[in-house]
Amino acid sequence: MNFSFLSDPKYDFIGAFWMTVQLTFWSAIGAFIFGVILAAMRVSPVPLMRGFGTVVVNTFRNIPLTLIIIMMSQVIAGQLGLRLAVRQPGVNPQAFLDSQNFRLAVLGFIIYTSTFVCESIRAGINTVPPGQAEAARAIGLTFSQVLGIVVLPQAIRAVIAPLGSVLIALTKNTTIAAAIGVTEASTLMAVGIEFDPDKITAIFLVVAAGFIALTLPVGLGFGALAKRNAVRR
Amino acid sequence: MSERASVLYDVPGPKAKRRNLIISIIFGVLLALLIWYVLSILASKNQLQADKWTPFLEAQNWTTYLLPGLWATLQAAAVSVVIALPIGALLGIARLSDHAWVRRPAGVIVEFFRSIPVLILMLFSFQIWFAIFGVSSPFAAVVIGLVLYNGSVLAEVVRAGILAVPRGQSEAAVALGLRKSQVMTIILLPQAVTTMLPAVVSQLVVIVKDTALGGLLGLTYSELRRAGSTSASAYGNLLPTYFVIAVMYVLINLALGQFSVYLERRLRTRRGGPVVKIDAGAQTDLLAARQQIEILDVPGIDQTRR
């Protein structure tokens, strides 16, 4: 198999996978924060918050990520005029588009992924024995204290492994950012189909190896982390 | 619902009721402000005008664009799951084989295709199909991509389903003198199929959503999202069209999700046996399947297993 395309500047695999890492990193942080907030809403004693959380989760979880990402670019930015980057005069407009599209993609990933984080954490809350929350209430803690000090820390420890698979899914999902012009591994595949269709198997293998190299350590790492932090009962 | 609303808080007393009411009002006002803000932006960009939304009252819009798109989406999803199920069953059984030379390759195949984004798999199969048959087939690319990925995921579901059948069943079958293949085909698989049905139905949600990848990067499969984009350029109403399409997806997937929950409840009450349930939050994944086996393996579900 001919891997000579690796030196071709058209195929910047390092750059593409660096983009994957960056997209995953920022989206994961945002999705975790929003996921925890959504989960807290869904278990809160205030019916309106519970309803809001349920509607948000059931809506965004069921819309294809492709549609969310394309809407972020074409509808939210294109038609409603959301600007997430500053266009500086005299600077190459491509730089503005690049950071604008990157941030739109991250926002889309956060919206979609946080619903899965929320559902994982909610499942984790169900694994915490009721006695823990009852004991916490008996010593006079308020709802936010029960949740923040007693229940959530145990719940999150219980769902480290599922959160790891959410992170892996997110890493793979970042390829969809190519739909709004963020140069990703999938862009390189499309370039390969366009210009070097005879080398597509080799290109595919390089991309596959890249994703295995990114996701395998995450899976193993989270598996080990889950085992280490398992709540012994 | 029992008298206690949740394990996290007691039934609210007068003080808590008042506090909850205050929080509800504050949250409600913030929510109303947000909705008003979004609506005002929509109005200022002329997105709420009637002529942007009336195309959905025209039969032609539906018959030319949206319904064929919906049909293409459902078709790809249905064909994919029908092909992926036997492949998944085969891989899942192979992963439980006593022979390492069967177990290991099956494991490698499952891990390989599970690690690669579906979009990449679709792009690759698109080109390979073209190289072999000389014509490009977006439908085949979408279906092959979905089958490769979901076959591996379903393999884990099948494996979990077979492992969840109480051990006494296979022990009894072996004691009766059945061969390994007989134990698998007439004892374990029939019981596993019913217990893993809910997980298969919830995987359908993932498949339906992933068909939307078929409209990207030159794959040109006219599924619902892509068909909607064509419709929107014909009628000049991008936002309303994508909104309607999002609603269609949500309704389809909510229905599938409800069906999965219904199946699970039904199967659970049927004979008290374990049901393989893969948490939607974990996006039906290998780790989730393994986690689920551990959760299923708790005392009380099946006393004979201990």
Question: What is residue A177's DSSP assignment?
Answer: G
Name residues whose C-beta falls within 8 Å of residue A77's C-beta, 6 or more positions apart in sequence. A83, A84, A100, A104
Comparing alpha-carbon positions, the chain A residue that sits nearest to B289 is A162
Q: What is the pLDDT of residue B303?
A: 34
The whole-number average pLDDT for the span A76-90 is 75
CB A144, CB A122: distance < 8 Å: no
CB B235, CB B257: distance < 8 Å: no
Quick one: how far is CA B229 from the chain centroid? 24
User: Within 10 Å of residue A68's Cβ, how many Cβ atoms?
Assistant: 21
User: Which of A46, A61, A207 minimises the CB distance to B23?
Assistant: A46
Q: What is the pLDDT of residue B274?
A: 54
Q: What is the pLDDT of residue A110?
A: 94
Q: What is the pLDDT of residue A158?
A: 83
Q: Give the helix ranges, DSSP H, for A147-184.
A: 152-158, 160-173
The interface residues of chain A toward chain B in range 7-26, judged by CB-CB distance below 8 A, are none
Comparing alpha-carbon positions, the chain A residue that sits nearest to B207 is A64
- List the domain boundaries for chain A: 11-229
Q: How confident is the model at residue A67 (pLDDT cuts 50, 70, 90)?
A: very high
Q: Which residues of B touch A134 (CB under 8 A)?
A: 7
Using CA atoms, how far apart are residues B276 and A97, in angstroms rounded to an integer? 46
**A136 and B CB contact within 8 Å:** no
**A153 and B CB contact within 8 Å:** no
CB B292, CB B160: distance < 8 Å: yes
User: Which of B20, B239, B250 minimises the CB distance to A62?
Assistant: B250
Q: What is the pLDDT along chain B (306 residues), one digit of tens a residue?
A: 333 446 677 777 888 888 888 888 998 999 999 999 888 888 888 777 777 787 777 777 788 788 888 999 999 999 999 999 899 889 988 888 888 888 889 888 888 888 889 999 998 998 888 888 888 888 898 999 999 999 988 888 888 888 878 888 888 888 888 888 888 888 888 888 877 887 788 888 889 998 988 888 878 888 888 888 888 888 878 888 888 999 999 999 889 888 888 887 777 665 545 555 554 434 444 444 444 444 443 333 333 332
Residues A71, A72, A75: CA angle, nearest 5 degrees = 55
Cα–Cα distances (Å) from A25 to A18, A19, A31, A68, B129, in that order, read: 10, 10, 10, 19, 35
Is the torsion defined by CA of A221, B205, A123, A173 positive or negative? positive
Phi-psi region of A183 (alpha: psi -120 to 50; beta: other; left: phi over 0): beta
Indicate the Cα dihedral angle A60, A63, A67, A69, nearest 10°.
Answer: 30
pLDDT in tens, A16-25: 889 899 999 9
SS3 B62: helix
Query: What is the SS3 assignment for B155-212?
Result: HHHHHHHHHHCCHHHHHHHHHCCCCHHHHHHHHHHHHHHHHHHHHHHHHHHHHHHHHH
Fold of A11-229: MetI-like fold (1.10.3720)
